[in-house]
Amino acid sequence: MKKNIGTNKLLFLCICMMSYLPLKATTPIAELWGARFAATFEYEPIKDLQISLSEELRLADYDILDCLYSEIGIAYKPLSFMQVGLFYTAITNFKGDTDLPLHNTNYTTDLRHRGTFDLTFSMKANQWKFSLRERIQATYRTTSVNLLEQPQTTWVLRSRLKAAYKPQRHPIEPYIYFEPRLLMNGALWNTKNSFETASFVGHQDAYFNRYRFSLGTEWQVTDHNALDFYLIYDLLQDKDITASNNPNPQLTMPITMQTNHYLAVCIAYTFSL
């Protein structure tokens, strides 16, 4: 009976969140939609050491090429409740003058390199599993950027709090998580008086520019094959900075906070050895 109560509670929470997501996504500020498809190969050469290779294709509006993530990583569990991970990701962004349907090959690419270090702490309570993951990411843009508006290498801290419910002898594991993202080196301007007389301070601005909510379920199809079906909703809040260096660093428009809502349907497949 207790198992059913736990399952019902999580399902009720998921239903509430699913009802909340469309409401947020249809606010009149801005709407972004997408889909994500991922495949991962995991290999455990020795106990508690895991090597992974993964590919993830992201679509915008469900039929427009957005980006491709190619990742290699290693994770190790020095303790039963702690895991350390190190990853490298090559990010290919597809760009063009217009939107790029899947059948259109007229596009350019923008390559970025990302390094990730994360630390995950977990605990179990009966069929419940709770985890906290702290993830530091550095993303380098290979193309030139306006350093008065953004850094060449972006540093962020992502803190994910996750709750999952795993019934005994059952392949399905529903879960839910919340993850804020802290931008640690945004472009900082001193606009104490007015934007016309603003001065560039450097890449010292820090603020939360994304809040992510996700719900989904993992399905352990066989001992070596697993599927993950999930939704993500992002509340994006970035500072919109327009600046030039002619003749001196100056803002050409007041700094504003731009808000977007992003909703994506995601499917991930994992093969493990």
CATH assignment at residue 16: 2.40.128
pTM over 0.75: yes
- Give the model's pLDDT for residue 155: 99
- The confidence score (pLDDT) of residue 20 equals 41
pLDDT of residue 230: 98
Nearest to 211 by CA among 234, 239, 238: 234
Residues of the chain with pLDDT under 70: 1-30, 96-106
What pLDDT was estimated at residue 102?
59
Residue 256's beta-bridge partner residues? Answer: 240
Radius of gyration of the chain (CA): 21
Q: Would you state the pLDDT for residue 169?
A: 85
Would you state the pLDDT for residue 49?
98
Q: Quote the number of domains for the chain.
A: 1
What pLDDT is attached to residue 109? 86
Q: Which domain holds residue 107?
A: 2-272
Cα distances from 6 to residues 24, 121, 129, in angstroms, run 27, 22, 12
